[in-house]
Amino acid sequence: MSGWSGRIMPLLKTGIFTVLVPGVVAFWVPLRWLGVQRQWDELPESWWAYLGLPLLVFGSCVYLWCAWDFAVRGLGTPAPIDAPPLLVVKGLYRFVRNPMYAGVLAVIFGWSLWLGSRRVALYGCAFWLLAHGFVLLYEEPHLRRSFGAQYEEYCRRVDRWMPRSN
What CATH class has 3-157?
Answer: mainly alpha
**What is the pLDDT confidence band of residue 1, given thresholds at 50, 70 and 90?**
very low
Confidence of residue 35 (pLDDT cuts 50, 70, 90): low
Q: Which of 53, 51, 134 lies closest to 98, judged by CA?
A: 134
SS (H, E, C) the chain: CCHHHHHHHHHHHHHHHHHHCHHHHHHHHHHHHCCCCCCCCCCCCCHHHHHHHHHHHHHHHHHHHHHHHHHHCCCCCCCHHHCCCCCCCCHHHHCECCHHHHHHHHHHHHHHHHHCCHHHHHHHHHHHHHHHHHHHHHHHHHHHHHHCHHHHHHHHHCECCCCCCC
* Terminal-residue alpha carbon distance, the chain: 39
pTM beyond 0.85: the answer is yes
pLDDT score, position 110: 95
User: pLDDT at position 93, please?
Assistant: 97
Q: What is the pLDDT of residue 39?
A: 59
Q: How confident is the model at residue 41 (pLDDT cuts 50, 70, 90)?
A: low
Evaluated on CA atoms 9, 12, 17, 20, the torsion sign reads negative
Average pLDDT, integer, range 111-134:
95
